[in-house]
Each structure stands twice: as structure tokens, then as C-alpha cells.
């Protein structure tokens, strides 16, 4: 399989499947696509019907949306347990991933992912509401499903991969998180694959200047 991803410093959608596959130990070839190159859209349309990345290529099959990629990989690699095993937890996990996938427009537009940098942001009601909702989701998932594990559903799942870009945004924009949710953020940031992504994001940026 090949996973086509955008620039590691900026491409929040690419981080999700990349992180899930890495943590689950699913083998793939990474294909870097420069979102900002001249004619990048024309190049993307050669392999991505939507003109967007990430795209998972498995033989003749191209899957062009991070949530669809997550579902495909969960079906193809059930032993990786990327969704929680219990049906109620799994339904809840899918709900919060779908909410993340479809919403949070203030957080996305006011705090775009910029892994290696630190910025300030002027808070407004819409951004505060998005942050509060993220924190409520994290708190609720951990209280109901985490047990003694350090991730939202105990062990690492797609939910953590989908919220990993939010974790980096909170760091980049200095958005403080109440205890004990700071421990959850630290668990995500401490993942070796997450550290690899951040190192490669930095390297890619310095190559570009
Ligand atoms: N819903 C898509 C969104 C993908 C997306 O917006 N990707 C961005 C890169 S992070 C992109 O390809 N942008 C190029 C463009 O919009 O022209 C997914 O989940 O994969």
C-alpha cells in the first residue's frame, strides 16, 4: 500500500491515517505530495478524485478521505484493533471521529496546524466553543472508556489519530488544557511515531527555505 500525504508541518488530514498506520504497525510506502508546488492540484487529480490528500492506494483501489481510509484499514487489519472492540465504545468512537471530521471550523481556520512553530491567537466565542467541545469530548471519552489506559479509549485508537492534529494545535497556539487532560496530550505527543512526524515536519520546512 501507498499513503500519499501532504506537507507534514501543515497537513492535519494526512497526519490521521499516517499516525494510525504507524502506531498499528501497518506497513506502507509513504509518498510525499507538495501541496504548494506549481500545478499541485493537477498533479493531485491524477490520483485523487477529490483533488485532496491523504489518499491510500491499495492496488487499483484509491481511497481519498481520512475517515474512509480509517474504516478501510480497520476492516482490512482487524487485529490492529484501531476501533474499540466493544460495540458501545466503538459507536461512541465513531461519533466523535465523525464530529471531528465534519466540524470545528473556528479551530481549523483560526488555528491551522503548524507543528513546528508557536503562534498567538486572539480568542473569540466561536474558537472558545470549539475548544470547550474538544475538552468535553476528551473528558467524556476518558471517563467512560479509558480505564487505566492513557488514550481516549484506553489503548490507542482511530480517535487519538483524529485528535492528534488538535493536540499539536493546542501546543502551537499555547491553548492550555486542564489537568488531567494535559496527561492525555502528553501521551499523544510522546508516541514515537508522533515524534517522528514532528522531526520530519521540521526537516521538510528547512528544506523548503
Ligand atoms: N475530508 C478530507 C479532507 C482532506 C483535505 O482537505 N486535505 C488537504 C490537505 S491537509 C488538501 O488536500 N488540500 C488541498 C486543496 O484543498 O486543494 C479528508 O478527510 O481526507
- Domain-by-domain residue ranges, the chain? 2-80, 87-193
Taking CA atoms only, the protein residue closest to ligand 1 atom 14 is 52
pLDDT per residue over 113-157, tens digit each?
Answer: 999 999 999 999 999 999 999 999 999 999 999 999 999 999 999
Cell numbers given for 197? 512526524
Instruction: Check pLDDT > 80 for residue 206.
Output: no
Q: How far is the CA of 146 from the centre of ligand 1 (A)?
A: 30
| 149 CA distance to ligand 1 middle (Å) | 31
Fold classification of 87-193 (topology level): Glutathione S-transferase Yfyf (Class Pi); Chain A, domain 2 (1.20.1050)
What pLDDT, on the 0 to 100 scale, is given for residue 128?
A: 98
H-helix segments, 123-180: 125-141, 158-172
Which of 14, 158, 176, 19 is closest to 99 using CA atoms? 158
**Distant-in-sequence, close-in-space partners of 145: CB < 8 Å, separation ≥ 6:** 84, 89, 92, 93, 152, 153, 154
Q: What is the pLDDT of residues 166-198, one digit of tens each?
A: 999 999 999 999 999 999 999 999 999 999 999
pLDDT tens per residue, range 38-66: 999 999 999 999 999 999 999 999 999 99
**Domain 2-80: which CATH class?**
alpha beta
C-alpha cell at 32: 510525499
Amino acid at each position: 500500500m501507498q499513503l500519499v500525504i501532504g506537507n507534514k508541518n501543515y497537513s492535519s488530514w494526512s497526519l490521521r491515517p499516517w499516525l494510525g498506520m504507524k502506531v498499528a504497525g501497518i506497513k506502507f510506502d509513504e509518498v510525499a505530495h507538495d501541496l504548494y508546488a506549481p500545478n499541485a492540484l493537477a498533479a493531485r487529480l491524477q490520483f485523487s478524485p477529490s483533488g485532496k490528500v491523504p489518499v491510500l492506494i491499495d492496488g487499483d483501489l484509491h481511497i481519498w478521505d481520512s475517515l474512509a481510509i480509517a474504516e478501510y484499514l480497520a476492516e482490512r487489519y482487524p487485529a490492529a484493533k484501531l476501533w474499540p472492540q466493544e460495540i458501545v465504545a466503538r459507536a461512541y468512537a465513531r461519533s466523535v471521529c465523525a464530529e471531528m471530521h465534519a466540524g470545528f471550523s473556528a479551530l481549523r481556520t483560526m488555528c491551522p496546524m503548524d507543528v513546528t512553530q508557536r503562534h498567538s491567537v486572539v480568542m473569540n466565542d466561536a474558537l472558545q466553543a470549539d475548544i470547550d467541545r474538544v475538552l468535553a469530548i476528551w473528558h467524556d471519552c476518558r471517563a467512560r472508556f479509558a480505564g487505566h489506559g492513557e488514550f481516549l479509549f484506553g489503548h490507542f485508537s482511530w480517535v487519538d489519530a483524529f485528535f492528534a492534529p488538535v493536540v499539536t494545535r493546542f501546543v502551537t497556539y499555547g491553548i492550555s488544557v486542564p489537568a488531567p487532560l494535559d496527561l492525555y496530550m502528553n501521551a499523544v505527543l510522546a508516541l514515537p511515531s508522533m515524534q517522528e512526524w514532528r522531526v520530519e515536519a521540521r526537516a521538510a520546512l528547512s528544506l523548503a527555505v
